A = this chain, B = another copy of it.
Amino acid sequence: MKTINFTPGPSQLYPTVPHHIRTALQEEIGSLSHRGKIFEELFLRTVDSLKTLLSIPSDYHVVFLSSATEGMERIVQNCVEQESFHFINGAFSQKFHDISKSHYKKTQSYTVDIQKPFDYHNAFIPQSAEVIAVTQNETSNGWTFLENDIHALKAKNPNSLIAVDIVSSVPYVNLDFAKVDVVFFSVQKGFGLPAGLGVLIMSPQAYEKSLYMHKNKSIIGSYHTFPTLIKHAQIGQTPETPNVLGIYLFEKVLRDIHKIGLSEIRAKTEQKAQQLYTYLNASDCYIPLITPVEHRSKTVIVVKGKEKLSVLHEKLKTKSLVVGNGYGEEKDTQIRIANFPTHTPLQIAKLLKYF
């Protein structure tokens, strides 16, 4: 029986990926020079395709990193001279905060109570915060920010850069990029690709900040500073030898998603999320971890139960259905179910049947 992976990432591959990998072998992508014309065209085509898909403004920059975690580090190095502010709604936003701390920046934060209605207007954000960091969809617990709440941040804090982690909500999340500055994700979640590639999107304002910091003799890194990344990206290159196969596969899956259309993908994601939450709400044994309905993630559904969920986890495994453990200390007491474009309503029905 073929396994279906509902793990929140690496997750089930997008259905076309095995085919694309075989095509990559035929086209000898593993030997492709990253300094040649074919790669340059691939790079520029991939960036164009992503910009069109997510409606990213034309003057924004898109570059490749190796992971979303690298995204956090590069943002701190290139945009935070003194001080950052962090909304903390789980383990990954905590990590972003800690990465800023490890660079000896002054950090302030607002910890979201994931069980109560949320009014972030209560959060005191100092005017001195150079970056306001938001983990839009917490992969650790499924607590999700409303897009409009993020968009409102920029209007209230025009001098701060808004950094948004969309690791486990892209391409479903509907961000207005003109209202955010640095956005990052990795490809092994919503895009259903093998792990090992990160994507970073930068506004002109974020780029300006990195230039200012460099001029001011801040250490902004070496081969992966914003200016170095952008200078190379403009001619379809990368500073180092990148994950060429990863970029190739990403371009192919972007194409496949364009064919379906993002509005269709978003509508289907919502239908499947409803399928899951409707079941959980009616269940006697399982409940969604997050209480406020509007903050429940549509793409990473986190479940707690009356009994240890490691039992359910093991039972599902015998049916070749793999869900994610709870994160960190919640390993045995929660499970996480990914609802990505690769997952079908039928697969989710099958999963719920064995609950």
Residues on A lying within 8 angstroms of B by beta carbon are 3, 5, 7, 9-13, 17-18, 21-22, 25, 28-35, 66-70, 72-73, 76, 95, 98-99, 102-104, 186, 188, 193-197, 217, 219, 221-225, 239-246, 324-325
Contacts and interface: CB of A to CB of B under 8 A. Distances in A.
A236 B142 CA distance: 27
A25 B31 contact: no
A13 B25 CA distance: 10
B67 A241 contact: yes
A103 B196 contact: no
Contacts of A9: 241
A222 B99 contact: yes
B73 A30 contact: no
Contacts of A30: 10, 13, 17, 193-195
A195 B34 contact: yes
Given A5-B31, A10-B30, A17-B30, A103 B240 contact: no
A3 B10 CA distance: 33
Interface centre among A69, A193, A224 (most CB of B within 10 A): A69
A244 B17 CA distance: 16
Question: Of A72, A245, A324, which is in contact with the most chain B CB atoms at under 10 Å from its CB?
Answer: A245
Contacts of A7: 31, 33
Contacts of A12: 31
Majority DSSP secondary structure for residues of A touching B: loop
Contacts of A242: 67, 195-196
Contacts of A29: 194
Nearest to A33: B7
A30 B246 CA distance: 11
**This chain: how many copies in the complex?**
2
Interface centre among A3, A186, A242, by most chain B C-beta atoms within 10 angstroms, is: A242
A274 to B, nearest CB: 25
A102 B219 contact: yes
13 contacts: A7-B31, A10-B241, A13-B31, A22-B22, A22-B25, A30-B194, A66-B196, A67-B240, A72-B223, A99-B223, A102-B219, A196-B197, A219-B219
Of listed A33, A70, A239, A240, residue having the most chain B CB within 10 A: A240
Contacts of A194: 29-30, 243-245
A31 B11 contact: yes
Contact of A73 (B34, B67, B196, B223): B223
B31 A222 contact: no
A241 B186 contact: yes
Contacts of A10: 30-34, 241, 244
**Most B C-beta atoms less than 10 A away, residue of A30, A35, A68, A239:** A30
Given A194-B244, A241-B188, A246-B196, A73 B222 contact: yes
A333 to B, nearest CB: 16
Contacts of A99: 222-223
A224 B67 CA distance: 12
A16 to B, nearest CB: 12
Contacts of A34: 10, 195
A264 B52 CA distance: 52
A117 B75 CA distance: 46
Given A10-B32, A30-B194, 5 more contacts: A5-B31, A29-B194, A67-B241, A73-B223, A194-B243
